[in-house]
């Protein structure tokens, strides 16, 4: 992007925020400049999370961190050479299975020139895979890129007579057509696994059986103790089959989890791209968020405390945990989890921001110790 284009975008960011918050453009510009110089926040990110409001008290920013600051700290605490443990879902699920951790049942790994069934037999070429797809896939299953993120490339397949329907795209396939779709040269390794459904309480909350995961960010200290940041539930709105927030593009919500798994409320990205808005009830079901209790939350928390140290030397991971009718299940881990800068314009700092601030303080302290040791 040219310097002129960046300047035009910056002026646009200032104008939009100034109009939204009813503030002098110079005050907004000063706020954006301070956020960038002191915290590394890009104007677009500051606007998206509502940080550009000059009236927002500084203490409300204690639980916020920019990608520019966070990424180097994450790479220091979770070295890139070990990212494959969670970044490659094929490795992740096989590792979890070896440790007897709860995951969706693995059916196969699709790869070239060889893939394999979960029980170990190699699958090579069209004929092997067509036989597997026709005879061994269950009524429903999920196919996703091993190195994918954000729900990109996800397929939720359901058998329909002698073929399959992708519930995400609406496409229908014969067995031959499905193999050709999976064998696209643009695709890397794929994971084929059972389809999980949310706990019935979560289904009643959002009116969908699609998975709505709880995000836990963890930090394993040099003493081996696992620290967990404030958890949040990713809430599906509408007919989406994934709970990704997509910086507001999906329309999904984020719900803040308080003590004993009770929701403290939920928020949505504002339609104009400036900050978040408070949501008291689910738009589809009318269910109230505040006070809703996440089933199996204690079990999910205990699972994460047990799991995080098993993935050392990855010391910080963002875990997505599904809550099913039978308990928690690990869905994926992310070394480079996005900053949860969810500042909602309500009176006074909330426990979420204070708890996130404490987690970030510990995070920075661990990274500083790591840096010091590396320099010796």
Q: Which of 150, 168, 194 is the last residue of a domain?
A: 194
- Residue 77 sits in which domain range? 72-89+198-375
pLDDT at 60: 81
Based on the fold, state whether residues 353 and 256 are members of the same structural domain. Answer: yes
Q: Which two tokens stand for residue 63?
A: 């639980």
Reduced to 3 states (helix: H, G, I; strand: E, B; else coil), residue 15 is helix
Residue 187: predicted pLDDT: 67
Residue with the larger pLDDT of the pair 321 and 271:
321
Gap between the Cα atoms of 184 and 167, Å rounded: 19
Same domain, 313 and 243: yes
**235 shares a domain with 368:** yes
User: Of 53-62, 153-162, 243-252, 258-267, which range is least confident?
Assistant: 243-252
| pLDDT the model gives residue 264 | 87
Q: Kindly state whether residues 220 and 266 are assigned to the same domain.
A: yes
Range of weakest confidence among 150-154, 219-223, 250-254, 271-275:
150-154
pLDDT tops 60 at residue 146 = yes
Q: Residue 304 domain-assigned?
A: yes
Own/partner pairs for 120-129, CB < 8 Å, 24+ apart?
126/179, 126/183, 129/179, 129/182, 129/183
pLDDT greater than 50 at residue 96: yes
Average pLDDT score over residue span 340-366: 80
- Identify the pLDDT of residue 374: 67
In a domain, 140, yes or no: yes
What is the per-residue pLDDT across 4-28, written as a single tens digit (0 to 9) for each? 666 677 787 788 888 888 888 888 8
Count of domains observed in the chain: 3
Mean model confidence pLDDT for the chain: 88
- DSSP for residue 99: T
Least confident of 13-27, 211-225, 291-305: 13-27
Specify whether 227 is located in the same domain as 148: no
Do 316 and 217 contact (CB within 8 A), yes or no?
Answer: yes
Residues 251 and 368 in one domain: yes
Query: Over the stretch 237-287, which tens digit does the pLDDT of each residue have?
Result: 988 788 887 666 678 899 999 888 999 889 998 888 888 888 999 999 999
| Whether 310 and 255 share a structural domain | yes
**Quick check: 139 pLDDT over 90?**
yes
| Average pLDDT of span 58-72 | 89
Split at pLDDT 50, 70, 90, the class of 53 is: confident
| pLDDT at 349 exceeding the cut of 80 | no
Instruction: Tell me if 114 is assigned to some domain.
Output: yes
**Among the ranges given (41-55, 99-113, 239-253, 337-351), the one the predictor scored with the smallest mean pLDDT:** 337-351
Are residue 115 and residue 161 in the same domain, yes or no?
A: yes
How many residues in the chain?
376
3-class state of residue 40 by DSSP: coil
Residue 348 has pLDDT above 60, yes or no: no
Q: How far apart are CA 93 and CA 85, in angstroms?
A: 9
Same domain for 203 and 190: no
Per-residue model confidence as pLDDT tens digits over 183-204: 876 667 899 999 999 999 999 9
Residues 46 and 171 in one domain: no
Share of the chain above pLDDT 70, in %: 93
């Amino acid at each position: 992007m040219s310097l002129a284009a960046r300047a035009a975008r910056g002026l646009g960011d200032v104008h939009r925020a100034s109009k939204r918050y009813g503030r002098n453009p110079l005050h907004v510009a000063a706020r954006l400049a301070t956020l960038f110089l002191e915290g590394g926040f890009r104007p677009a990110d500051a606007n998206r999370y509502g940080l550009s409001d000059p009236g927002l008290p500084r203490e409300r920013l204690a639980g916020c961190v920019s990608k520019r600051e966070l990424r180097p700290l994450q790479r220091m605490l979770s070295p890139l050479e070990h990212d494959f443990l969670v970044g490659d879902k094929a490795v992740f699920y096989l590792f979890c299975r070896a440790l007897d951790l709860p995951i969706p049942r693995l059916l196969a790994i699709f790869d070239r020139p060889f893939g394999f069934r979960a029980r170990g037999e190699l699958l090579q070429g069209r004929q092997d895979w067509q036989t597997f797809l026709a005879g061994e896939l269950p009524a429903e299953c999920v196919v996703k890129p091993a190195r994918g993120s954000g729900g990109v490339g996800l397929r939720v397949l359901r058998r329909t007579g002698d073929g399959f329907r992708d519930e995400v795209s609406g496409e229908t396939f014969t067995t031959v057509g499905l193999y050709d779709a999976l064998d696209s040269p643009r695709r890397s390794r794929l994971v084929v696994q059972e389809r999980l459904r949310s706990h019935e309480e979560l289904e009643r909350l959002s009116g969908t059986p699609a998975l709505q995961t709880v995000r836990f960010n963890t930090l394993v200290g040099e003493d081996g103790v696992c620290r967990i940041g404030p958890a949040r539930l990713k809430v599906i709105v509408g007919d989406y089959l994934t709970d990704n927030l997509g910086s507001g593009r999906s329309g999904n919500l984020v719900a803040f989890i308080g003590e004993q798994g009770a929701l403290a409320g939920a928020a949505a990205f504002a339609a104009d791209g400036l900050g978040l808005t408070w949501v008291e009830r689910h738009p589809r079901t009318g269910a109230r968020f505040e006070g809703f209790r996440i089933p199996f939350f204690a079990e999910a928390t205990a699972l994460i405390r047990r799991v995080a140290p098993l993935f050392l030397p990855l010391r910080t991971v963002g875990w997505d945990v599904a809550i099913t009718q039978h308990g928690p299940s690990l869905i994926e881990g992310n070394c480079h989890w996005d900053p949860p800068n969810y500042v909602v314009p309500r009176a006074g700092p909330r426990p979420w921001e204070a708890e996130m601030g404490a987690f970030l303080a510990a995070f920075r302290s661990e990274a500083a110790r790591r840096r010091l040791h590396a320099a010796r």
